[in-house]
Amino acid sequence: MTLPVGHRVALLGLCIALLSGCGFQLQGSRDLPYALQRVFIDSDNPYTVDDPPVAVALGARLRRQGATVTGDRGRAHSVLVITDVEERSEVLSIDQQGRAIEFDVIVSATYLLRSKRGEVLVKPETLTARRALSFPSEQILPKEAEEARLREFLQGELAELILLQLQARLDADQPSEPASSP
């Protein structure tokens, strides 16, 4: 049974009204704290020339929420430092032939936020994202591709956790805008 177009439009309008009435807001619709509105991301990723994927994902999430992620440290309100990025897998179970069939994929990073003058706005904290990955032992190649997709997902999840932590800490500890100087 299909509804006439007019009824579908009315139903859609009713759903929107109910969602807005309950306080629902789309992700990213909250204003970012001042320190995150113009940010420089500094990542310590030894032995590589690229930024770690978690730093790239964090920059993308900040941009989506309206922040300016600048490549010029001097133009930023703050510097977000990402260090100790680690990706690893731990065997959770093995089959009767001694082959690993279940892994825990783990991604972690330490972050801190400094003002452009170097003062610590958010103290260093380490966050971790993890998921179990299981596969039949005869599916080695598909497992590697699935593990790569899972690592990418975990990098994004970790970036989201860092951003949520930063917003919560800044909202609790800081005024939304810098104090005006006389």
Residues sharing a CB contact under 8 Å with residue 131, sequence separation 6 or more, in sequence order = 104, 105, 150, 153, 154
3-class DSSP state of 70: coil
| Residue 180, helix vs strand vs coil | coil
Q: What CATH number labels 28-173?
A: 3.30.160.150
Helices (H), the chain: 5-21, 34-37, 53-64, 140-173
Per the CB < 8 A criterion, the answer to whether 146 and 132 are in contact is no
Q: What is the pLDDT of residues 62-112, one digit of tens each?
A: 999 999 999 999 999 999 999 999 999 888 888 888 877 888 999 999 999
Domain boundaries, given as residue ranges, for the chain: 28-173
Q: What is the pLDDT of residues 131-158, one digit of tens each?
A: 988 876 666 556 777 888 888 999 999 9
Which two tokens mark 87? 């990706």
Name residue 64's amino acid.
R
- Joined together, the tokens standing for residue 96 give 């009767």
Over residues 30-44, the mean pLDDT reads 89
Task: Identify the residue whose tokens are 């956790």.
Answer: 161
Q: What is the CA radius of gyration of the chain?
A: 22
